[in-house]
Amino acid sequence: MGESELELLQRALNQDMEAWAEIMTNYKRAVFGVSLGILRNTADAEDTTQEAFIRAYEKLHTYNMQRKFSTWLFTVAANLCKNKLRRAKFSTALKEEQWVEGGEDPAQIHERDELQQKVRKALDKLRFDYRAPMVLRFYADLDYKEIADVLGVPEGTVKTRLHRGKQELKKIMDKEGGLEHGRQTA
């Protein structure tokens, strides 16, 4: 299949830019997704994604090869997002993305896309403490421990914030009519 992630990381530590380029290719979409979910702005998420890879490369010597690389990389990205949010208070809506998959009924695709858009808009209204763990859990598919590592908070805090975030998200969506026909969000 190809080199293992550990081999690529070892090569990147030795200034092998081809290895680092492959790592970036493997993680660019995930880092962008996390950044977009937290920052809620495509241009800022693109900038932060680039900055995260630059920072990660510069700090690669500090990475503990015994830990999961994606968690470390998401931590770098999440910290950059936090810093960006601290510096600039803004409320820009997410730009819509279309995820059209072949073979599905167009009405179902439209309904699902509409619900995803409503969920994203509701996520925009959550404060960072609730939004960040929800994005990391439901968009980046991290477990509680990984989220705790990324955000630098105890695992119990992650569970609490996810629970409260879901409640707040549901309230927002109920208020705005986002949960028709008894649907659940998370």
For the chain, domain boundaries: 1-86, 104-186
**What pLDDT does 16 receive?**
92
**φ, ψ at 167 (rounded to 5°):** -65, -45
Model confidence pLDDT, tens digit, residues 52-109: 999 999 999 999 988 899 999 999 999 898 888 877 543 333 333 333 344 455 666 5
The answer to whether residue 127 scores a pLDDT higher than 70 is: yes
**What pLDDT does 184 receive?**
44
Cα–Cα distance, 49 to 115 (Å, whole number): 26
Buried b (16+ CB within 10 A) or exposed e, 138-154: bbbebebebbbbbbebe
Model confidence pLDDT, tens digit, residues 132-178: 898 888 877 788 998 998 888 999 999 999 999 999 988 888 887 65
**What pLDDT does 142 receive?**
84
Please report, in angstroms and rounded to a whole number, the separation of the first and last CA atoms in the chain.
Answer: 35
Cα–Cα distance, 18 to 15 (Å, whole number): 9
- The answer to whether 30 and 49 are in contact (CB under 8 A) is no
**Low-confidence winner among 9-13, 58-62, 156-160, 180-184 (lowest mean pLDDT):** 180-184
What confidence tier does 123 reach under pLDDT thresholds 50, 70, 90?
A: confident
**What pLDDT does 98 receive?**
35
Architecture of domain 104-186: Orthogonal Bundle (1.10)
| Side chain identity, residue 184 | Q
**What pLDDT does 174 receive?**
84
Average pLDDT of 117-126? 80
CATH number for the domain formed by residue range(s) 1-86 = 1.10.1740.10
What confidence tier does 117 reach under pLDDT thresholds 50, 70, 90?
A: confident
**What pLDDT does 110 receive?**
57
